[in-house]
Amino acid sequence: MTERVEVFPCRCSPEGDAEADALLAEVSARLAGGSDQLAARPIPPEDLMTAIIASLEWDYEVNEIRIHYDQWGMVSGENDQLSVVAQFDRFEDGLAALWKAFADRR
C-alpha cells in the first residue's frame, strides 16, 4: 500500500514566510550534503530546483512529477512507497516540500 502525504508551505503570514524560508534552507543544506548522484557542494539558489528534481529522480525514483496551477499551485509525485501532494504559494516552496517528504521517509 502506498502512503499518501499532503503538505502546504503557505506564505500567508510572517510565520509562514519564516517556515518556508527555513524549508528552503533545510532542503538546500541536505542536498549539499551529497548523495549517490550529486557531489557534496553548496547549492546556489539558482540551481536548487534542478538539484531537487534530479534528486527526486535519482535518489527516490520519482519518475513523474505533475504540476497543476489555478488559484494556488500544486506539485505531486510518487514512487512505489509514497505519493506526495504539495500545495504552494511559490513553486520553490512546493517542490522543496515534495522533496523533503520523500527524504524524511527514506
Q: Cell 527526486 maps to which residue?
A: 56
CA–CA separation, 44 and 77 (whole Å): 24
Ranges of each domain in the chain? 3-104
Read off the pLDDT of residues 33-63 as tens digits, 9 standing for 90 and up: 855 444 456 688 899 999 999 999 999 999 8
The model carries a pTM of: 0.88
